[in-house]
Amino acid sequence: MQRLTMTVLVLFVLTAAPTRAQKDTSMGNGYASVEKFDPKRDAAMDIQDAVVEAKKTGKRILLDVGGEWCIWCHRLDTLFMQNKDLADFMHKKYVVVKVNFSPESENEKVLSSYPKIEGYPHIFVLDSDGKLLHSQDTGALESGKHHDHNKVLRFLKKWAPGKRDPKQ
């Protein structure tokens, strides 16, 4: 009887506990986006959670690969922090997942599923099913010592959902 009670209790906890994609956030949509490069995160799970959210919302997924060590990663983050129009558009059309690449965690297994990365930050655009649509070297989005607002906006618009295939 005690074993049965314990089994029922464990099943209740497992079915009642929210997945990471279902956790409540301050935005109220139930999805906690990955906003920081963190070597302790499970990138595969983060991407799975993003797929769940993208399917639910009709968004695409942006995998932002880099690390806290990366000055250009911080510059790209700064561009979004200083330009509300870019940040709003990105979050309206994409589920964003930061995937850490650092000596602490290179996320080799996850990143082996994607094309080779030559520099950081690097962006992969996925459809709502998690299928790779585009691999973007962010160097092409730079001007001088920063990322260019208009280039980044054109990139985001080009790969946003609801458009015909940008490669056509």
Q: Quick check: 152 and 136 in contact, CB under 8 A? A: no
pTM of the shown model:
0.80
pLDDT in tens, 78-110: 999 999 999 999 999 999 999 999 999 999 999
3-state helix, strand, coil in the chain (%, to 5): 45, 20, 35
Please, what CATH class does the domain formed by 32-159 belong to? Answer: alpha beta
Q: Which two tokens stand for residue 29?
A: 């949509």
The answer for residues whose C-beta is within 8 angstroms of residue 73's C-beta and 6 or more apart is: 37, 64, 66, 67, 120, 121
| Domain spans in the chain, listed from the N-terminal domain onward | 32-159
Arithmetic mean of pLDDT, 35-58? 96
Confidence at 30, pLDDT banded by 50, 70, 90: low
Separation of alpha carbons 97 and 43, rounded Å: 8
Confidence at 71, pLDDT banded by 50, 70, 90: very high
- DSSP string of 59-122, one letter each residue: -EEEEEEE-TT-HHHHHHHHHHHH-HHHHHHHHHHEEEEEEE-BTTB--HHHHTTSPPP-SSSE
Which is more confident, 43 or 28? 43
User: What's residue 75's pLDDT?
Assistant: 97
Partnered with residue 34 across adjacent β-strands are 97
